[in-house]
Amino acid sequence: MARDLAVIGMGKLGASMAAAMASRGHRVTAVDVREEAVEALNAGRAPVQETDLERIVLESGPRLRATTSHREAILGADISFVAVPTPSDDRGAFSLQYAGWACREIGRALADRKDYHLVVISSTVLPGSMRFGLLPILERESGKRCGRDFGLCYGPAFIALGSVIRDFLNPDFCLIGEFDERSGASLEACYGDVMPDRPPVHRMSIENAELTKLAVNTYVTTKITFANMLAELCERLPGGDIDVVTRALGADARIGSRYLRGGLGYGGPCFPRDNQALGFIARALGSGADLAETTDRFNRQFAERAVGRLRPHVAPGATVAVLGLAYKPFSHVVDESQGLYLVRALSRAGVRVVAYDPLAAEGARAELSGHAVIFDSLAEALAQADVVVLATPDPAFRSLGATDLLAGGKATVTVVDFWRVLDPGVARQPGVRYVAFGRADSPETGAGSLATLWGGAGT
């Protein structure tokens, strides 16, 4: 059944949600306060950069349109999804400033509706935000009662930038926090019409869903950080190798291999803020927050520790090239990326830094002014580098050979590979000194410390 849907917020999540639902035959009106985003969508262009978005916008034709009027969208739709920002505030909590404003607009439009309408908050919020922050705004502005006149659900999406549309349409499961049975049933039916494979649906109270969404991200970041911690330890063991360890570890069905790799820390617009937020809500309610806070601290300090590791390889006056400034390969997003952290930490330590990223140069320049020269070509960056640091596992870096690395007439170059992506043959080429994060330098590494620790056994 073709539905009439509204999506409030046409950013990285909302624009793709709107397009994804239109691609399944529904009529979708997207709303944004940014006129340029509205104009772009109505002209058949993607308002943000995302895989397949522009194609779907074009293919959807009149089924997908945009407006700056919340009222117009809400009056014409049975369900509205809210995907506006919930930025971290200085306590580490997620601010309801934009969501509150959106709910005021929705509430005012609901005042003029005669029939039932379901409001779904897809923005990430902290436990209690829906019932105690947003619901009162909706009721006050509409003069109506939730549960009787309109419904309310928390419906967060589990997506990664670069695959938002695919992820939204094909999630591992749907998470629904419902104000009441009718609200949850309406959203479940809608998801059933949108998601081709009808994924399992987990319906629960709003507060349990608010916690579950946060728990998914913080669990994943804890797993990433655990592997990174092991990688540091492997470097200190005779013949230590994080890939050998994680391959076996991930084979245990209780653990699994995804996100268990050992590399630079995590970044991006979502992951880094979630442990802080979990810590905030746990502390505010008087429960333990140590695990979340430790994960966050370990990750944030990673770049500084990485600089300590690089230091023996960086001679005075040497230039370091950091390759990979986005928070992951194939992305232009530099928010909280480890590449940026690393450049800043090296620059603070007095090292001359040059840098390159296939997609993220523009965003990185705005962030790194005064810290690094960012080149538009990989070859230019390599030509100046005495030390090359691979900060993301971008395939563009995998194929680097000794000739590329030794460009600029150098006799030697050191490559520090945080993701162990370079062809092992390159490491054996004359003039190339290869340092792999998570691997011991030699079979003797750490032997002295271990002999001191255990050498007296049996005496």
Ligand X SMILES: NC(=O)c1ccc[n+]([C@@H]2O[C@H](COP(=O)([O-])OP(=O)(O)OC[C@H]3O[C@@H](n4cnc5c(N)ncnc54)[C@H](O)[C@@H]3O)[C@@H](O)[C@H]2O)c1
Q: Residue 4: which of 106, 80, 77, 109 has the closest Cα?
A: 77
Nearer to ligand X, 14 or 329 (CB): 14
Coil, strand or helix at 17: helix
Q: How far apart are CB 37 and ligand X at their closest, in Å?
A: 6
Query: Considering the rule CB under 6 A, would residue 382 count as an interface residue with ligand X?
Result: no
Cβ proximity of 217 and 274 under 8 Å = yes
Q: Which stretch binds ligand X (CB under 6 A): 26-34, 147-155, 182-190, 259-267?
A: 26-34
Cβ proximity of 44 and 57 under 8 Å = yes
Q: Which stretch binds ligand X (CB under 6 A): 31-39, 58-66, 242-250, 343-351?
A: 31-39
Question: Could you say which residues in the range 277-306 bind ligand X, by CB under 6 A?
Answer: none
In the list 20, 53, 84, 138, the residue contacting ligand X (rule: CB under 6 A) is: 84
Query: Considering the rule CB under 6 A, would residue 98 count as an interface residue with ligand X?
Result: yes
Q: Which stretch binds ligand X (CB under 6 A): 25-33, 49-57, 172-180, 321-329?
A: 25-33
Task: Name 441's Cβ contacts closer than 8 Å, sequence gap at least 6.
Answer: 235, 435
Question: Could you say which residues in the range 131-170 bind ligand X, by CB under 6 A?
Answer: 157, 159, 161
Q: Which stretch binds ligand X (CB under 6 A): 12-20, 293-301, 313-321, 388-396?
A: 12-20
Ranked by CB distance to ligand X, the top (closest) residue is 11
Q: What is the dihedral of CA 174, 180, 182, 187, to 10 degrees?
A: -20
Task: Name 408's Cβ contacts closer than 8 Å, sequence gap at least 6.
Answer: 382, 383, 384, 385
Q: How far apart are CB 47 and ligand X at their closest, in Å?
A: 7
Q: How far is CA 29 from CA 3, 40, 156, in A?
A: 11, 14, 19
Q: Which stretch binds ligand X (CB under 6 A): 32-40, 240-248, 372-380, 425-433?
A: 32-40
Cβ proximity of 234 and 241 under 8 Å = yes
Interface with ligand X (CB under 6 A), residue total 26
Nearer to ligand X, 85 or 265 (CB): 85
Q: Which stretch binds ligand X (CB under 6 A): 97-105, 174-182, 252-260, 347-355?
A: 97-105
- Buried/exposed 85-121: b ≥16 CB within 10 Å, e otherwise: bbeeeeebbbbbebbbebbbbbbbbbeeeeeebbbbb
Eight-state DSSP code of residue 348: H
Question: Could you say which residues in the range 36-65 bind ligand X, by CB under 6 A?
Answer: 37
Nearer to ligand X, 27 or 70 (CB): 70
Amino acid at residue number 253? A
What are the phi and psi torsion angles at 177 (to 5°)? -100, 120
In the list 7, 10, 289, 343, the residue contacting ligand X (rule: CB under 6 A) is: 10
If residue 417 lies in a helix (H) or strand (E), which one and from where to where? strand 413-417
- Angle among Cα 269, 275, 277 to the nearest 5 degrees reads 85
> Which two three-digit tokens encode residue 78?
């049975």
323 CA to centre of own chain: 19
Spatial distance between the Cα atoms of 307 and 85, rounded to a whole number of angstroms: 33
Decide if 270 is catalytic: yes
Query: Considering the rule CB under 6 A, would residue 123 count as an interface residue with ligand X?
Result: yes
Query: Considering the rule CB under 6 A, would residue 8 count as an interface residue with ligand X?
Result: yes
In the list 13, 106, 120, 359, the residue contacting ligand X (rule: CB under 6 A) is: 13
Query: Considering the rule CB under 6 A, would residue 71 count as an interface residue with ligand X?
Result: no
Question: Could you say which residues in the range 311-370 bind ligand X, by CB under 6 A?
Answer: none
Question: Could you say which residues in the range 236-275 bind ligand X, by CB under 6 A?
Answer: 269-270
Nearer to ligand X, 153 or 372 (CB): 153
Nearer to ligand X, 154 or 437 (CB): 154
Nearer to ligand X, 47 or 393 (CB): 47
Query: Considering the rule CB under 6 A, would residue 93 count as an interface residue with ligand X?
Result: no
DSSP secondary structure, 92-140, as one string: SPBP-HHHHHHHHHHHHHHTT--S-EEEEE-S---TTIIIIIIHHHHHH
Helices (H) and strands (E) in the chain, counts: 20, 14
Nearer to ligand X, 32 or 178 (CB): 32
Spatial distance between the Cα atoms of 216 and 201, rounded to a whole number of angstroms: 15
Nearer to ligand X, 216 or 249 (CB): 216
Query: Considering the rule CB under 6 A, would residue 184 count as an interface residue with ligand X?
Result: no
In the list 6, 56, 96, 102, the residue contacting ligand X (rule: CB under 6 A) is: 102
Amino acid at residue number 236? R
- Angle among Cα 73, 78, 80 to the nearest 5 degrees reads 55
Nearer to ligand X, 213 or 371 (CB): 213
Residues near ligand X (CB under 6 A) are 8-14, 31-34, 37, 83-86, 98, 101-102, 123-124, 157, 159, 161, 269-270
**Residues with catalytic function:** 270
